[in-house]
Amino acid sequence: MRVTIALLVPLQRSAQAVIDLVLPPRCPACRAIVDGDDRFCSGCWQQLVFLTTPCCACCGTPFDHDRGPGTLCAPCLADPPRFDMARAAFGYEGAARSVLLSFKHGDRQHLARLMATHMARAGADMLGGDVLLVPVPLHRWRLWRRGFNQAALLARVLAGRGHGALAVDALLRVRATLASAGMGRKARAANVRGAFKVRDRGLVRGRRILLIDDVLTTGATANACARLLRRAGAVEVRVLTFARVVRDGGSTIVHPPYGNGIEADAH
């Protein structure tokens, strides 16, 4: 018997209602029950630090007031990054930090859907067209221990939504690095020196690259990857992450661009 669309839709809604009753949607940060999938509870929503304009034209560090188009922050002026631009959805604190750590270390891989949605909002001007999505790679031993590369998962979701072509293995991590938590800027840069390799120069030559990662801290990893991609012939290297550590004096809480949760995927 053929099931018509008119009959199928009510059946799907009924099935979803049963699922929601047994397994109600929960806040991705604190796990409180909420009224829809991929929505934060009101308390966690208020913790989110949205990173939008005004900000540094290069690295995206938020400014406390509008300093004019093209303005760079002092660190970017003093030591220009190797990438052309970096943007992140949230400051690495509060609910955003909880989501990222749960995703990365709590094996909650389904959070990639929510994270990629916010990344697409933050990087709307960087996505689409002929952009090539390149995730920051993990070393094979860390990949074996964790079971997945969080950057690759985010890049796959973005590519699946039509935000660019995916080159999941364009970069290789050929040297294991130490965990960088607690390291300063210089130590992080030394830690990733010589750690990466471009697998196929022909894949990136002449391309606009969007480097995907979960969090931007000092930019050492992004710089190391961007330097190699540039040498391989990439015409542009930009960086998009879910969160970033905001330098002292730069963080300001920005009112959410839309209501509690995501109503539609941003393209």
Contact 50, 256 (CB under 8 A): yes
137 contacts: CB under 8 Å, gap ≥ 6: 149, 151, 152, 169, 171, 172, 173, 196
135-184 residue pLDDT tens:
999 988 888 888 899 999 999 999 999 999 999 999 999 887 766 666 66
Query: Does residue 58 lie in a domain region?
Result: yes
- Residue 89: closest CA among 64, 124, 113, 63: 124
83-126 residue pLDDT tens:
999 999 999 999 999 999 999 998 899 999 999 999 999 999 99
Query: Does residue 263 lie in a domain region?
Result: no
Q: Which residue has the tokens 């800027």?
A: 185
pLDDT number for residue 94: 96
Query: Does residue 2 lie in a domain region?
Result: no
User: How does DSSP classify residue 221?
Assistant: H
Q: Which domain holds residue 188?
A: 48-244
Query: Does residue 260 lie in a domain region?
Result: no
3-state secondary structure of 236: strand
Whichever domain contains 103, its CATH number is 3.40.50
Contact 236, 90 (CB under 8 A): no
- Residue 261: closest CA among 18, 6, 4, 41: 41
> What domain count does the chain have?
1
Query: Does residue 236 lie in a domain region?
Result: yes
- Residue 99: closest CA among 241, 202, 196, 209: 241
243 contacts: CB under 8 Å, gap ≥ 6: 88, 89, 90, 91, 92, 96, 97, 100, 214, 215, 216
